[in-house]
Structure 1
Amino acid sequence: MGELISPIVLTLTLALCVTAILLVVSTPLAWWLAHGKGRGREVIGAIVTLPLVLPPTVLGFYLLLALGPYGPGGALAGLWGARTLAFSFQGLVIGAALGSLPFMVQPLRNSFAAIEQEVLEAADTLGARRMQRFWRVAVPLAKPGYVVGAIMSFAHTIGEFGVVLMIGGNIPGQTKVLSIALYDFVERLEWDKAHILAGGMVVFGFTVVLATLRFSRGFSANS
């Protein structure tokens, strides 16, 4: 039973960490992509979206080099006496966050872009400063983007395989998340355990999609 519980706990922990990080990182990035100016905006937008079209193993390969002992991750890990961020939980968080970044940024960008300029200008005329206008007007109006982004980022992290396999491997209790555990059970022909994990992930995926669709429809009906 421990072979099933440990990957579940580790995966949920990873997904929560990634979602929390992306909520913080994606907020200013999505705002800039929606309302910023300059040619570099679309280039950065394309880079952020790149994980959607790249094979996960390609992203995982370059992350493995970057997080390894001879990359920036190795130098960072040296601060606490380690040699590498690869094959560690910290490395999984970095890799999963980059892989899930477009799932958070895109809904937020769309929500920020949908805010009418007149609303922001009205806040200016009432004396709101730029940061007040952002946090008190723009962020509350972008609530649907935050909800959808958080759900999709969390769900994508739960199901991530290629990236976590490349940079995390299969270390029980450290990097053996649900998708890796499922792959391991199939290789060992332990079909009962594989069915439990696979069935659970199907139910979870269906619930996430259904919840997202209902939320989007409910918000559209109220707007």
Structure 2
Amino acid sequence: MTGDDLAALRLSLGLGLATVAALLPLALLLGRWLGTTHWRGRPLVEALLILPLLLPPTVLGLALLIGLGPETAPGRAWAALTGGRLVFSFAGIWAASVIVNLPLAVQPAAQAFRAIGPAVRGAAASCGLSPLRAFGLVELPLAWPGLATGAVLAFAHTLGEFGVVLMVGGAIPGETATLSLAIYDRVQAFDMGGAVRLALLLAAISLVAILMLFLLGRRRG
């Protein structure tokens, strides 16, 4: 591996971990609400959440490129805070990754909280637990497999994301050039051997993450 490949690997891993760190609290809050609410507008919220997975990456990337641009509220706020631009930066591809992977993190969490059911919550209340203590002592331990599943799916998907990262961040070495973009560059340079090696590395990292999830689930069972 070249120095640029190692930089792309470190950037991809950092992006994946940063994305998961941002998604976990969002998945916890939104997943719990979606799993317990009886609001009639819930299907609309779920449809909006799943939309990033259904849009073509170029369409979603263009929307995020415009939405995070220097003339938008997020772009101006970021410029005022840091003096830099949000698009074509690590912060920009991180924000895009959080939006793209939100449904992957939230949906498993919502299903996990929905599976707990009102009977379990009623039993916790009958034991004298406050809603907050019942959440921490009863609901969270039961729902954590859904949260972990969403985190692993989001991490693996972030590693492999190509279109949105390219649209929002370009391919700036050391800042936005992820491992997926490095694979594309190798193919463009007709270095198929190098592209295959990087692709296998990317697949191996994702496989290890999924295996860890299965092993944790088996140990808990």
Q: Which TM-score applies when normalising by structure 1? A: 0.91
Is the contact made by 1:18 and 1:96 (CA closer than 8 Å) also made in structure 2?
yes
Mapped to 2, the partners of 1:44 and 1:79 lie a distance apart of 32
- What displacement does 1:83 show? 5.2
Instruction: Give the 5 Å matches for 1:154-165.
Output: 154-165=155-166
Residues of 2 paired with 1:143 and 1:83: CA distance?
Answer: 37
**Once the 2 structures are TM-superposed, how far is the Cα of residue 84 of structure 1 from its aligned partner?**
2.7
- CA displacement at 1:143 relative to structure 2: 1.7
Q: Measure, in 2, the Cα distance between the counterparts of 1:76 and 1:109.
A: 32
By how many angstroms is 1:123 displaced? 1.2
Instruction: For 1:150, give the aligned amino acid.
Output: A
Other structure's SS at 2:78 match? helix
**1:146-204 CA distance string (max 9 Å, x none):** 22111111101111111111100010010000111111121122333212211212333
Distance 2:86 2:170 in 1: 12
Greater mean alpha carbon deviation, residues 192-201 or residues 61-70: 192-201
Q: What does the per-residue CA deviation read over 1:95-133, in whole Å, with 9 as the maximum and x for residues that have no partner?
A: 001111111111111111110311101111222222222
Q: Distance in 2 between matches of 1:142 and 1:163?
A: 30
Tell me how many residue pairs correspond in the alignment.
Answer: 220
Alignment correspondent of 1:180: 181
Separation in 2 of the partners of 1:213 and 1:123? Answer: 29
SS at match of 2:116: coil
2:196 matched residue in structure 1: 195
**What is the letter of the counterpart of residue 59 of structure 1?**
L
Matches of 1:12 and 1:88, distance apart in 2: 16
Q: 1:194 to 1:23 in 2, by over 3 A?
A: same
Q: CA deviation at 1:208?
A: 4.4
**Partner residue in 1 for 2:112:** 111
Provide the residue aligned with 1:67 in structure 2.
68
Q: Which amino acid aligns with 1:138?
A: E
Match of 1:14 in 2: 15
The one-letter code of the counterpart of 2:12 is T
Which SS does the other structure have where 1:116 is aligned? helix
In structure 1, how many angstroms separate the alpha carbons of the residues matched to 2:49 and 2:154? 14
What is the identity, as a one-letter code, of the residue corresponding to 2:85?
T
Which residue of structure 2 lines up, in the alignment, with residue 39 of structure 1? 40
In the alignment, is the contact (CA less than 8 A) between 2:183 and 2:198 conserved in 1?
A: yes
Matched, 1:134 2:144: no
Do the aligned partners of 2:79 and 2:86 also contact (CA within 8 Å) in 1? no
2:9 and 2:211 map into 1 onto residues whose CA distance is 22
Aligned 8 A contact 2:112 2:143 in 1: yes
1:65 positional shift? 0.4
Letter of the 2:37 counterpart: G
Following the alignment from structure 2 to structure 1, what is the Cα–Cα distance between the partners of residues 22 and 89?
17
For structure 2, the residue ranges without an aligned partner over 5 or more in a row are none
Q: Which moved more, 1:35-44 or 1:15-24?
A: 35-44
Shift of 1:135: 1.7
- Are 1:73 and 1:84, in contact at CA under 8 Å, matched by a contact in 2? no
DSSP 3-state at the match of 1:52: helix
Q: Which residue of 1 aligns with 2:90?
A: 89
Q: In 2, distance between residues paired with 1:178 and 1:171? A: 12
